[in-house]
Amino acid sequence: MKTSSRSRALAGLLALAACGPVTWNPVPVSGPAADLAALVGEWSGDYVTDSATGRTGQIWFRLEAGRDSAYGDVVMIPGTNRWGPTAPPPAQELPIGPGAPQVLTIRFVRSAGGTVTGRLDPYTDPFCDCTVRTSFTGRIEGDVVQGSFTIREERGATRGGRWSARRGN
């Protein structure tokens, strides 16, 4: 993770912590025992969208050996370009402030054959101001997992991005 991304993620986490105590959400995990064993530990990383939204975020995930639930969340840090490749609305319609970080809940994770898949709970995306569903997939290689994700708007449009996490950060 680049220093600027790490600084933004830390700022987002601090802003969320100021709102009250942080409760890590339980995340159901499934898969063959050997594949789940490959996910045991504490993972942290980041993501970035491929689109013009400028969105980045922080990922945190922890799985203890022999458990069927892990704990983790994704912190979304909205970018400054809410309108993507289109022109922004007139000045009187512009929101004030860059948008607050938002905790997104990981709904489930499945691991099989060295591949991790999962989904986030639906959430309101600040880019489209609509409900979206996000799915992700990644490949585990030792202490690193890397992959991609797809964001699907309720209207049908899709965007994507890349994510990675490292065990033991």
pLDDT at position 106: 93
- The residue-averaged pLDDT of 95-111 equals 77
Residue 15 has pLDDT above 50, yes or no: no
Distances (CA, A) of 151 to 16, 119, 120, 136, 156: 23, 10, 10, 9, 10
pLDDT at position 151: 95
pTM of the full predicted structure? 0.76
Distances (CA, A) of 167 to 2, 94, 103, 160: 17, 40, 21, 24
Parallel, antiparallel, or unpaired: how do β-strands 144-153 and 158-167 relate? antiparallel
The continuous run of DSSP H or E covering 62 comes out as strand 56-63
Distances (CA, A) of 108 to 16, 70, 105: 23, 9, 9
Residue 79 has pLDDT above 80, yes or no: no
Q: Average pLDDT of the chain?
A: 80
Q: Which domains does the chain have, with CATH numbers?
A: 3-18+27-80+99-167 (2.40.128.120)
